[in-house]
Amino acid sequence: MDAYGPVCVGIDPHASLLEAWGVGDTLDGLDRFAATCVEAFAGQVAFVKPQSAFFERFGSRGVAILERTLQDLRHTGTLTVLDVKRGDIGSTAAAYAEAYLDEDSPMAADAVTVSPFLGFGSLAPFLEEAEKNDAGVFVLALTSNPEGPQVQHALVQHGRPAGVPGRGRQTGTVAGDVLAALREANAGATPMGSYGAVVGATIGSTDEDLDVNGPLLVPGFGSQGGTVDDLRRIFDGVTRYVLPSTSRQVLQAGPDVAALRDAAVAVNDSLQL
């Protein structure tokens, strides 16, 4: 972030974007799109975030392109965040963690997104694998989709459903518990921990403590409606941790490599938080 600025560029090969680039919504178009993004962003921005689903829709050959994209981006100065939002339990969670965070995996990324809604403890394999491989984990906490508050704003009493008897328990939200668990996992780390939260730029406002001593991945910035003013307001006091994520705002400048780089620079320049 110090070297390249805080922006995280999403690599989201939507069908409409592939068509707009003139490469076609085909496997070959996906390949050309991904290679162009690597050329444009490797060593130029702090983070890139490939969205796995848009590669997976092409089947095994699309996943192979994702693997190559991750491999080509890594070790260039740019960190990869693989957006897969996985969440499971036991040996299955451990297998997911190994697939995405083990340095020897063909799909290894520098960080991965995960869902904590099977219980934060279910994420232990991801945190452990990340620690072994000097990698990171971004945990969904306050997402900006309209369905999110149904779970994330639900009240709990120190991890128990509201209403469960217990003397002296304080009521908080599910999101608050997730953030508190991240804060504990990052305790004592400098300059920040490797376990971050996903907090949307379009959530409006929150009373939650967003200081988890770790990075805050912030989707929804740019074309999805989030503004610099939103970032200043929502993340007041913790802007040093914020990684605003944008895809369309930058990718619509393609397929010209120089134009893509200029668009990423322009976003970084706008982020005077």
Of 105, 91, 20, 107, whose CA–CA distance to 56 is shortest? Answer: 107
Q: What is the DSSP string of 216-265?
A: EEETTBSTTSB-HHHHHHHTTT-GGGEEEEESHHHHTTTT-HHHHHHHHH
Q: Is 85 a catalytic residue?
A: yes
In Å, how far are 73, 97, 100, 152, 250 from 83, measured between CA atoms? 15, 13, 10, 19, 18
The residues, ordered by sequence, that sit 6+ positions from 4 with a Cβ below 8 Å of its Cβ are 44, 45, 46, 77, 78, 268
* Active-site entry in 14, 68, 85, 153: 85
- Structural Rg of the chain based on CA atoms: 19
Of 252, 249, 185, whose CA–CA distance to 215 is shortest? Answer: 185
| Secondary structure letter of residue 123 according to DSSP | G
Q: What is the DSSP string of 28-74?
A: HHHHHHHHHHHHHHTTTSSEEEEBHHHHHTTTHHHHHHHHHHHHHHT
Of 142, 68, 143, whose CA–CA distance to 109 is shortest? Answer: 68
CB atoms inside a 10 Å sphere around CB 98: 18
- Sheet with strand 171-173: strands edge to edge: 160-161, 155-157, 171-173
CB atoms inside a 10 Å sphere around CB 89: 14
Q: Among all residues, which ones are annotated catalytic?
A: 85
